[in-house]
Amino acid sequence: MAYRFWCGECGFKTPWLAESEGARRQLEHYIKQHPGIPAGGHVETNRKNPDGGLGCLQAAGIVVLLLIIAAACQR
């Protein structure tokens, strides 16, 4: 899923990023632009266009299912 972090002090916002990357960029912004102020603001979640990738567990499940089907076809 993609996240966009907004600064609580000015109009800065990150691009749509992974949660950890967005938080890192917001923190860097606060250190440079608002030294001494704790990072604040809000986080926006992109629900309309999620990243769409399969999770590792889902991908592993698909691979296992395909292996079972392939093994069954060879008998």
Per-residue pLDDT tens digits for 61-70: 888 888 888 8
CB 43 within 8 A of CB 5: yes
Burial of residue 30 (CB within 10 Å: 0-12, 13-18, 19+) is: buried
Going from N- to C-terminal start, the domains of the chain cover 2-73
Average pLDDT over residues 70-75: 78
Per-residue pLDDT tens digits for 13-53: 999 999 999 999 999 999 999 999 999 999 999 877 655 45
DSSP H helices, 1-75, are 19-33, 56-73
